[in-house]
């Protein structure tokens, strides 16, 4: 199966303007990218503007017709699962089934947890994410469901299911891949290396741990592979694809000027 290519960016700084994000989505679709995914934060590093990803994604959906759209990733421990389920379901219906929900435990590098009194313990956040995912999928299914957990409760009546299936990608940090059990229950894994890079051997080891050879399962990696960057260092993506990568997400993490971001997007996906 051919590798797909996405634009992966924080709605911070120059990209905190929702109109700029709509333009990014339009131009990404025109240039041949397969997806556009947004970070999900409430704060950034320093006095930088931050935009809500779900509101922006709705506008992006209305301006496009082909690219997949979603969060990468939403930290479930600081979200109410019913709200996330409805946000993703609304985006899915608005876009005609083009929503992907990326999820993770979250990180506190900007104070998204501590500055709002949210829990920071890893074990507690992992338990919250698992409970949240159960409730999210129950809401999407439309089936009756009762959950009385340590962190969340739900008592759901029968209702209509979401008309489109919404894939879930789970963030997993290497080398330990502590989220393997969570990821294997869903549709894909977003692999994050210790130094923000992932090697082909790490992809193979992750897939061996996940053991999902009997069904479609996405393996998402991120980095900079476009030759359109200033002073680019272009990695060889072929070995990563041969090892099992199914998506490459071109990463815009440096608060790049909007014109540079658009130049890289207009150049289209890197090829190999």
pLDDT at 67 over 80: yes
Helix 53-62 crosses helix 81-95 at what angle (to 10 degrees)? 10
The whole-angstrom distance between residue 159's C-alpha and the CA centroid of its chain comes to 27
Note the pTM of the prediction, 2 decimals. Answer: 0.96
Question: Class for domain 4-266, per CATH?
Answer: alpha beta
Q: Per residue in 12-43, pLDDT tens?
A: 999 999 999 999 999 999 999 999 999 999 99
Nearest by Cα to 33 from 228, 189, 166: 228
pLDDT at 233 over 90: no
pLDDT at 181 over 80: yes
pLDDT band at 254 (very low <50, low <70, confident <90, very high): confident
Distance CA 127, CA 105 (A): 9
Asked if 251 and 8 touch (Cβ cutoff 8 Å), the reply is: yes
Ordered by start, the domain boundaries in the chain are 4-266
């Amino acid at each position: 199966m051919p590798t797909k290519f996405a634009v992966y960016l924080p709605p911070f700084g120059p990209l905190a303007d929702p109109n700029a994000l709509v333009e990014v989505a339009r131009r990404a679709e025109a240039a041949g990218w397969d997806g556009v995914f947004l970070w999900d934060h409430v704060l950034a590093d320093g006095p930088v503007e931050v935009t809500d990803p779900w509101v922006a994604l709705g506008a992006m959906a209305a301006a496009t017709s082909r690219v997949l759209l979603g969060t990468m990733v939403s930290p479930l421990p600081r979200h109410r699962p019913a709200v996330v389920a409805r946000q993703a379901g609304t985006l899915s219906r608005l876009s005609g089934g083009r929503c992907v929900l990326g999820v993770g435990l979250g990180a506190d590098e900007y104070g998204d947890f501590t500055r709002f009194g949210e829990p920071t313990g890893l074990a507690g956040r992992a338990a919250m994410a698992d409970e949240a995912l159960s409730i999210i999928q129950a809401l999407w299914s439309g089936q009756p469901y009762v959950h009385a957990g340590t962190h969340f409760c739900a008592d759901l009546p029968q209702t209509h299911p979401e008309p489109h299936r919404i894939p879930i990608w789970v963030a997993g940090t290497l080398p330990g891949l502590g989220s393997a059990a969570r990821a294997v229950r869903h549709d894909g894994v977003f692999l994050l290396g210790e130094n923000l890079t992932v090697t082909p051997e790490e992809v193979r080891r992750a897939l061996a741990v996940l053991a999902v050879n009997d069904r479609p399962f996405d393996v998402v990696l991120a980095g900079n592979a476009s030759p359109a960057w200033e002073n680019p260092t272009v990695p060889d993506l072929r070995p990563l694809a041969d090892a099992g990568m199914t998506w490459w997400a071109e990463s815009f993490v440096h608060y790049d000027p909007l014109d540079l971001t658009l130049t890289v997007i207009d150049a289209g996906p890197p090829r190999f």
